[in-house]
Structure 1
């Protein structure tokens, strides 16, 4: 069985899960634990980022490389059109989604965490002790925003990111007015990339992911709950209902250690 080394809240892991579901492939999710789990990923793939797909003795890091591997080795239900124009558009949009929707929505989500104590608490695991939740929710938003400004995710920088995301969503809504999918009449890698990478703008229903109950359907204020972008999120909901499989308990955890470190996502 295919093994996906992942982080459940990673947009790029969700992208790979969407592709695997679309192709009807069975796989086992292995949640990478910060610390020793990342050492295991590094030993296996030469880097510590997720997602990483393991197919027998073959190890493939990076969501785009995984998509191309799946297309070559599991050609049923193709991700790429055969016509040159549509194929080119699909590849361009997949790359754009990685660098635009994916990166900007992650920054916007961190900014929202800094400003919104309820959202900050919602991302914590359900078994988090109450005193920890109290500490997390009690951190002054002004302090977090000031810290975020120092790394480009606070103040005016965050406003610019959110404005750019709104322009992206407006463009996607306009495209989808004319056709059922982003590059034509059938779903492609472009659709699954854009849908999954918008994860942090508005979470799908819990049945698709192992996420806290409080996050199911929760939207990023001002973006995911903006009525102007409802056509996009309705389209995404349809894509989920048609091609994403409901969550089955097939997740295991990688090794854990005593020195947590952040998981980078590509």
Structure 2
């Protein structure tokens, strides 16, 4: 049995949800509460970051390592080509997405969302334990401070994150001119990772989270300039998610 320990809001966890669904694998998702997840995560792998995949008594952490494992254990619907040159390109694009898209998106979004507990608490507790909403309201002031410190979110770092994000989106945009996929002629983990990590800027319905009806205007302002260039993300979600 495959078990995914995750935060529903996390775009790195979405990488794994998407991969599991793409491979049509049965799995159980266990939604943990931010801040309160640390005990369970340390018990499984000795550190606190999610996602964590549990399979046959083996715990795998880190979204890229989990994708490696899934292709090794469940080779149907592979997420990377066998040909070495193409595989290298796919993994390079995934690493680029993890570092230059996933991190800036997380910083930019949380910089806004952590100021709106009425919006972010339901996202943190979506389909989680019954006591989640009440507990999160109690711990949220300290959790907000801890998250800002842990992710080094402040006005200066967020300005840098926006510049990195803009540059990264442009790089993907240029790459996709006259192309359907980032590498080769088939959907791969390069496309999956890039689309999943950009998804918090376009909120696709198949993401696996109950998005709020309305987002803070500040977040809408961040996302708006990217809408045209992120149409590719919506297309991948419609066809491959």
User: Does 2:7 correspond to 1:7?
Assistant: yes
Q: Tell me, in whole angstroms, the C-alpha distance in 1 between the residues paired with 2:207 and 2:36.
A: 27
- Counterpart for residue 76 of structure 1: 76
Q: Which runs of 5+ in 1 are unaligned?
A: 137-143, 245-266
- Counterpart for residue 259 of structure 1: none
- Counterpart for residue 225 of structure 1: 224
Task: Please give the residue correspondences for 1:2-41 in structure 2 after superposition, counting only pairs within 5 Å.
Answer: 2-34=2-34, 37-41=37-41
Secondary structure at the counterpart of residue 225 of structure 1: helix
Contact 1:123/1:212 (8 A) holds in 2: no
- Residues 36-45 or 65-74, more deviating: 36-45
Q: Tell me, in whole angstroms, the C-alpha distance in 2 between the residues paired with 1:74 and 1:175.
A: 30
Count of residue correspondences: 226
Task: Please give the residue correspondences for 1:129-168 in structure 2 after superposition, counting only pairs within 5 Å.
Answer: 152-168=152-168
- Counterpart for residue 203 of structure 1: 203
- Counterpart for residue 213 of structure 2: 214
Q: Which runs of 5+ in 2 are unaligned?
A: 124-131
Secondary structure at the counterpart of residue 78 of structure 2: coil
The structural deviation recorded for 1:96 is 1.4
Q: Per the alignment, do residues 120 and 169 of structure 1 end up closer, same or farther by CA in structure 2, a change over 3 Å counting? A: farther
User: Does 2:189 correspond to 1:189?
Assistant: yes
- Counterpart for residue 86 of structure 2: 86
Between 1 and 2, higher relative CO (CA 8 Å, sep ≥ 6) is seen in 1
- Counterpart for residue 59 of structure 1: 59
Can you list the C-alpha shifts for 1:104-151, whole angstroms capped at 9, x where unaligned?
A: 11111122236xx6x55322328968xx7xx99xxxxxxx9xxx79x8
Stretches (4+) displaced over 6 A? none
Secondary structure at the counterpart of residue 199 of structure 1: helix
User: Does 2:128 correspond to 1:124?
Assistant: no
Which of 229, 234, 237 matches 1:237?
Answer: 234
Q: Tell me, in whole angstroms, the C-alpha distance in 1 between the residues paired with 2:208 and 2:218.
A: 15
Q: Per the alignment, do residues 101 and 208 of structure 1 end up closer, same or farther by CA in structure 2, a change over 3 Å counting? A: closer
- Residues 154-163 or 186-195, more deviating: 154-163
Normalised to the residue count of structure 2, the TM-score between the two structures is 0.80
Contact 2:7/2:34 (8 A) holds in 1: no
Can you list the C-alpha shifts for 1:23-74, whole angstroms capped at 9, x where unaligned?
A: 1111110012346643222212222221111112222111111000001111
- Counterpart for residue 263 of structure 1: none
Q: Per the alignment, do residues 77 and 107 of structure 1 end up closer, same or farther by CA in structure 2, a change over 3 Å counting? A: same
The structural deviation recorded for 1:168 is 1.0
Contact 2:101/2:198 (8 A) holds in 1: yes
Q: Tell me, in whole angstroms, the C-alpha distance in 2 between the residues paired with 1:50 and 1:198.
A: 18
Normalised to the residue count of structure 1, the TM-score between the two structures is 0.73
